[in-house]
Chain A
Amino acid sequence: MRSYQAKSKTNPSGAKAQISLPGLLRGLKPPPPSEASCSPVHRNWFNFCMKAAQALALAAAVCFSAGSTDAGSRYNNLNHRLMCTCGCAEILGECNHVGCPNSTGELNELRNGIAKGLSDQQILDGFVAKYGAVVLAAPTTHGFDLVAWIAPFAVFGAALLGTILLVRRWSIGSRQKSATAVSDPAIDALREKIRRETDGV
């Protein structure tokens, strides 16, 4: 895994936290009588968890939407968003072979662009115009390239939702079956004993 400074264009974390947490809580088995009444302590605990999750999601969103400003970090950021075009398949900022015919020139172009006061997008557009879209280390966020970014999260989100719905459906079906089943007190007691002994182990 190569370290890099590129800004993220997506923020899945907030939505994930908001969808999954209530679902998880709903899926919990009804608590024993002492817990079912849901004392103020428990309510506070859940409220705190919900607020903490929301605060984390908000913090992550703020972090992800921020960008770097000074020339040094811009240079570092941008040279990790570009590829060396010599055919070595290396990130421009990590191209490591001496005498590479392209990387030095590309890095100079990058420095000149920053010195001229061009924006990040203008610099990247200039590289794409000169070398083609393959010079970018990752697809852009417009046109067909956007599909590259959306598809993984869309598939993951759909699969997550599908799994939650499936588990709920199975658990409802299971409850209905057990409600119609004839209960044997001896077996129920044995099950409860096993459950107590294996709970959390």
Chain B
Amino acid sequence: MASFGSFALLVALALAAWNLLAGALALRLIATGQPSAVSPERLADTARRAGIAGFWAVTAAAFALIWSVFTNDFSITYILEHSNRALPAAYKFSALWSGQEGSLLLWAWLLGAYGFVLRLTHKTDVKLYAYAGAILAGIQVFFLAVLCFAAPPFALLRGAIPEDGNGLNPLLQYPEMVIHPPMLYLGYVGFSVPFCFALGALMMRYPGEKWIKITRVWTLVTWLFLTCGIFLGMHWAYAVLGWGGYWGWDPVENASFMPWLTGTAFLHSVMMQEKKGMMKSWNVWLIFSTFLLTLLGTLLTRAGLVSSVHAFAQSSIGTWFVVFMGIVLAVCIFTYILQHNHLKSDHHLESLVSRESSFLFNNLVLLAACFVILWGTLFPILSEYVVGNKVTVGAPWYNAVAIPIGIFLLFLTGVGPLLPWRSTSLRAVRRNFVLPSIALWATVIVCLAVGVKPWKDGALDQGNFYALVAFAMSAGVTTAILSEFLRGAGVIARQSGRNLFWAMYLLIRRNTRRYGGYIVHIAVVIVVMGLAGAAFNRNIESEMALHDKISIGPYTLENVGATQDSNANYNSEYARLDVYKGGTKEFQMTPEKRVYLASEQPQTMVAIHSTPAWDLYVVYEGTNPDTGQPIIKAFLNPLVGWIWAGVALMALGTLIALVPSLKPAAQKGGLA
């Protein structure tokens, strides 16, 4: 199977190279009108077909690797290092992306899959799709070349073949890890498609804004995958790493967040181009930057430039990525310089206070946030290079710098939808902002009344201060958005005589993009409230003898014994803790500590009891070597569940935005 996999990769590389070269030549011939022995249209079609065939070749290679994992073929180094016989089937599948070579193969396969769909739908606009397909093939050539020559997944072991493999990293043996990396990669890789369309449209001087309409679905779907991937990663960190948090501003976390920020900025600013024909150059560079940031993220993860708890697969392929990023940047700059006249746009703004300028400020804040994160991620390298002194840029720095920017962004999330296009009047400002302002200040008063005070012992309690601001802003923004829904639904209800819920449904169906977007904004508010809850986290750590009790918040935990278990994959020991609330036993929690047999590495399995108000999060930290008694750390983390609920709503809002709006005829029917 190793030979078959390697051969499939070589075939895929040859097909991608043909797709790139023949596609580029055909487009050149079409553009210049030079006579040639072969019809350029036929040449372009062979290039497209090579791209389709290339997808099947990469699929064959991916299949070969998965087959080798399931058949325990330890003659392949990758399988030996990332699997073992007792590994459960789901995790055997995830071995595909648990190491460097496998995850690059996953990248190439997803790129092939996106390309497959793109090439099958080429009739939408044959020429633009031909450009995009050729550029996509160029990216594919890079990844397949890395797989064939720098990080081969089918490299064979030299010497005797061991009976069993080293096993999968215990941190990766968790359900989220089966879906988190593919989701993240679907997001990363997906941004290649709008990038290819943007670059292709610029190369061919594509008239109008149709390329944006074509790529809108691609961009939204990709953004959704990246969003889900990031939040699944957060949930994995929360449930597996056992420190009670979900986001540690780790370089690899930051690497996934940066393209999300620029991608979000792109999703907003393309509306300016669609509606007003503005910001053409800006949009092109936003999508270029987003694609480059996905490559930078992979570089950071793979090349070991910065230390990270998430960098599971490091090697020396960094140089390949640096060179490729350099080539991509050079192509982007060259094309832009050559074609920038095509991107000239009329910039008409009537007022600083308008929907248009709110989009500009939204872009500014998103990019500022991206810069802050990039700066913080790379500053240790910069400091070491400039003054020879490596420093740590950890959570305190990010919290001090990024949170104020985040709160400003939250403010814009609420203000933007309230501002009309073109310009506004004082009367409109007053009418639209009175209710949100009342909600904001009422929340401040309520928070202060219930004890959320931004000071403690005469000093600023920064966590509480930010939480107070976040809660107040969230109330204002939610009121602003809901009032938008109610105003629109009220009009429809009056016109149609139907109830408000039906009117709300019809309102959303009439403009799915706009109201789907508003639902995403509400989801962002919910997530922010969940994040703000971290300011009130509490924890207690205690060594617990049998029947010892600890209390945290409304809960009392009693140790009713520890027990052990084992299976072919791991040995585990866990504490059994009865949880009482108000003197009544409510449930039992069993935080666990595992030692995986193949790798001999320990792993914590946290016990979590979630409610809308808080999570009771219990970690079995092991036993005291002197007394033999279990050490338990319990956290009470308020509002964490809101984060996951917010993400679900975000996904729903995005899916609604993807649904086509009702056409006027259908609207009439709906109203009748």
Contacts and interface: CB of A to CB of B under 8 A. Distances in A.
Interface of A: 1-10, 12-13, 16, 23-24, 26-29, 31-32, 35, 42, 63-64, 66-70, 73, 80-81, 83, 88-91, 94, 96-99, 132-139, 143-145, 148-149, 151-153, 155-156, 159-160, 163-164, 166-168, 170-171, 173-175, 177, 195, 198-201
Given A4-B463, A64-B460, A89-B309, 20 more contacts: A1-B534, A3-B463, A26-B352, A29-B350, A42-B426, A63-B454, A66-B459, A90-B243, A96-B243, A133-B391, A136-B392, A138-B393, A139-B397, A149-B401, A156-B368, A163-B361, A163-B364, A198-B420, A198-B421, A200-B487
Interface string B351-390: 1110001001100100110011001100100010011011
A11 B250 CA distance: 25
A5 to B, nearest CB: 7
Given A137-B392, A137-B394, A152-B375, A1 B352 contact: no
Interface residues of B, number: 87
B631 interface: yes
B353 to A, nearest CB: 5
Given A96-B621, A159-B368, A148 B426 contact: no
Contacts of A198: 420-421
A89 B250 contact: yes
A199 B425 contact: yes
B488 interface: yes
Nearest to B407: A13
B668 interface: no
Contacts of B432: 200
B158 interface: no
Nearest to A66: B459
B427 A31 contact: yes
Contacts of B250: 89
B509 to A, nearest CB: 17
A160 to B, nearest CB: 6
B428 A200 contact: yes
Contacts, number: 232
Interface string B445-478: 0000000001111111111010000000000000
Contact of A35 (B348, B400, B408, B425): B425
B666 interface: no
B383 A1 contact: no
B395 A91 contact: yes
B619 interface: yes
A42 B368 CA distance: 35
Contacts of B396: 4, 6, 80-81, 91, 137-138
B484 interface: yes
A36 to B, nearest CB: 10
B459 A69 contact: yes
Contact of B394 (A138, A175, A195): A138
A200 B418 contact: yes
A156 B408 CA distance: 11
A97 B426 contact: no
B360 A163 contact: yes
Contact of A156 (B405, B425, B631): B405
B170 interface: no
Contacts of A28: 351-353, 424-426, 429
A29 B425 contact: yes
B261 to A, nearest CB: 14
Nearest to A195: B422
A143 B368 contact: no
A152 B378 CA distance: 13
A28 B347 CA distance: 18
Given A3-B537, A66-B458, A159-B367, A170 B348 contact: yes
Given A73-B457, A163-B361, A167-B357, A134 B352 contact: no
Contacts of B531: 1
B459 A68 contact: yes
B93 to A, nearest CB: 29
A166 B281 CA distance: 15
9 contacts: A5-B462, A69-B458, A96-B243, A96-B244, A135-B392, A143-B387, A156-B372, A195-B420, A199-B428
A27 B387 contact: no
A16 to B, nearest CB: 8
A159 B460 contact: no
Contacts of A171: 349-352
Contact of B462 (A6, A31, A152): A6
B420 A200 contact: yes
B277 interface: no
A174 B248 contact: no
A94 B351 CA distance: 49
Contacts of A81: 396
B395 A152 contact: no
Nearest to A157: B368
A144 B389 contact: yes
Interface string B329-356: 0000000000000000001111111000
A199 B392 contact: no
B244 to A, nearest CB: 7
Given A1-B534, A67-B459, A159 B364 contact: yes
B242 interface: yes
B427 A35 contact: yes
A63 B465 contact: yes
A106 to B, nearest CB: 14
Nearest to A139: B391
A152 B397 CA distance: 11
Interface string B228-253: 00000000000000111111101000
A1 B399 contact: yes
A28 to B, nearest CB: 5
A3 B535 contact: yes
B401 A152 contact: yes
Contacts of A2: 243, 245, 247-248, 395, 399, 534
B554 interface: no
B245 A1 contact: yes
A136 B531 CA distance: 24
B304 interface: no
A145 B383 contact: yes
Given A80-B396, A144-B386, A29 B487 contact: no
B307 interface: yes
B404 interface: yes
